Structure 1
Amino acid sequence: MDVLDDLVNAALRAARDRGQDVAMVPLPAIAAEAGVSRSTLLRRLGGSRAALDDAVRRAGVDPGGRPSVWERATDAAALIISERGLGALTLERVAENAECSVPSLHTVFGGRDGMLAAVFERHGPVIELEELAAELPESLEETVRALHRIFIRAFQREPRVVAGLLSEVMARPKAPVAEMSRTTFPRMFRVFSELLLPHVHAGRLRDLPIPLLVQQLIGPLMAHLMLRPTLEPVVPGGLPPVDFASEEFVRMYLRAVAVEPPSESTRISP
């Protein structure tokens, strides 16, 4: 059975109950019908409802409607960033690729900065981070590993936009693109607090300011992921697998801030 079959059935039920085409049913309504959260639904769909619409067509039903301007524009913007870089992103180019008007982009996003924030939310780690916080891992070590896996997926997911957006924010903190950090970064730090503070209160993690705990947790991994495409072709013998590098960073983090670091027996080999 296709992994999307249960979502297809949920979408068809929601559409029937509402008397609408499947494409017009909001994702939260489909998620509620499927008995999952909106973030879980999006994760299973790969961040876009296009996979669901395709599955509905394979089931012999026309989903009808058309993706919203928000969906078409964020997908178009992400593809432009991935293929041509952030400098190539203009509202005019997005409007052309998304088959909409520039005024409609202003209405939906409030401008280019709002659109970039939407692209980061759609293709970045935010949704998965919030989902992880809703289902806390049992141990500190597993929490750190789960966070690393989320960031690895975000950096490697196509279209690849996370590295470019974060690089621009860090390089030009006063540039217009940095406005996206004012909407998404507080959400991310709230999630990190929910994930790490219980371990601080339980005495498993040093009582350090959350920003320092977060920087030590994801800083080395992010630097590795952002530099990897540049270094891999020129480093003799290549770089170690991403999973191996992540595990080493996990161990470094736990040795630095955990009250009881993990044993050496958990070390993996490249």
Structure 2
Amino acid sequence: MQEQDHEQLQDLVAAALTAAEERGRDVADVPLTAIATAAGVSRSTLLRRLGGSRGALDEAVRRAGVDPGGRRPVRERAIEAAAQLVAEQGLGAMTLDAVAERAACSLPSLHTVFDGRDGLLGAVYERYGPLPDLEALTADPPERLEDTVLVVYRTVITAFDREPRVLPTLFADLFSRPDGPAARAMRAYLPRFFDGLAQLLLPHVEAGRIRPLPLPVLVQLLLGPMITHILTRPVIEPIRSLDLPPVNELCELFTEAYVRAVGQPGQRAR
């Protein structure tokens, strides 16, 4: 009888490990229902074999040489590990093997969670790019056009300075390889990015404060000069003869220039 119980417990351990691997999670983060499904039994049967709680299962998983939990999900660890590799060593260093080693997870779990390297890079861009802050801004945008533009510029600068600093590397790859992995990662989020900026800019177009230019042109006029400055600033700063204003003052200068560039003539006069 004890031998049969031991075999059943080992089957449950195998089912738990399979369910955890498929989801890219620690065993402790996998619901009992999912483990029961992987074992081919009902949840009540699973609990009965475990003696009423999952403590016996966790202990059996430990005896099998696997930590059942206590760590963050694979997705969180992998995104951070990938971002660190990109910032420290460049985009080429962000292989799935290197991410799996740094994040202490398996290759199959990365494929399951992210659907390959491009999916992981896209998740890195979403986490460390300006998109989350931009979408948060659309929930409560400023009323004045000048204030809106100023906040957008500060959001972009914050994203470029966010540690680990992945955006400069991604843009370098984007400019050198328009069809490369960085371009594919950014392109996947462009609809959301343009939608967010549309929510911020188009109300001012409808109110007559901005000329009715195509949205991509409004966005390029808004972000092109600022991103160019951010990427070239480290090269210009060491040149003593070129006096760069502080970042806060710079945001105000770029805001004034953008409003003058796209504003309606009557609005600019006022």
TM-score under structure 1 normalisation? 0.71
Alignment check: 8 A CA contact 1:251 1:262 kept? no
Aligned partner of 1:75 among 73, 80, 87: 80
Alignment check: 8 A CA contact 1:128 1:150 kept? yes
- 1:261 is paired with a residue whose SS is helix
Q: Deviations over 1:39-67 (max 9, x none)?
A: xxxxxxxxxxxxxxxxxxxxxxxxx7321
Aligned partner of 1:130 among 131, 135, 139: 135
Q: Whole-Å Cα distance in 1 between the matches of residues 109 and 156 of structure 2?
A: 32
Question: Equivalent residue for 2:268?
Answer: 261
Runs of at least 5 residues in structure 1 that lack an aligned partner in the other structure: 1-22, 25-63, 264-270
Counterpart code for 1:159: P
- 1:70 is paired with a residue whose SS is helix
> Does residue 88 in structure 1 map to residue 89 in structure 2?
no
Identity of aligned residues (%): 51
> Does residue 156 in structure 1 map to residue 161 in structure 2?
yes
Alignment check: 8 A CA contact 2:78 2:100 kept? yes
1:262 deviates by: 7.9
Q: Deviations over 1:197-256 (max 9, x none)?
A: 110011011100000001111111111111112221234355221122221111111111
Q: Whole-Å Cα distance in 2 between the matches of residues 233 and 87 of structure 1?
A: 28
Runs of at least 5 residues in structure 2 that lack an aligned partner in the other structure: 1-27, 30-68
Counterpart code for 1:195: L
1:135 deviates by: 0.8
- 1:253 is paired with a residue whose SS is helix
Aligned partner of 2:234 among 226, 229, 234: 229
> Does residue 182 in structure 1 map to residue 180 in structure 2?
no
> Does residue 198 in structure 1 map to residue 231 in structure 2?
no
Q: Whole-Å Cα distance in 2 between the matches of residues 242 and 153 of structure 1?
A: 11
> Does residue 119 in structure 1 map to residue 134 in structure 2?
no
Q: Whole-Å Cα distance in 2 between the matches of residues 105 and 69 of structure 1?
A: 8
Count of aligned pairs = 203
1:98 deviates by: 0.3
**Higher Cα radius of gyration:** 2
1:74 deviates by: 0.6
Q: Deviations over 1:159-189 (max 9, x none)?
A: 1011211221232111233221232111100
Dislocated runs of 4+, deviation >4 Å: none
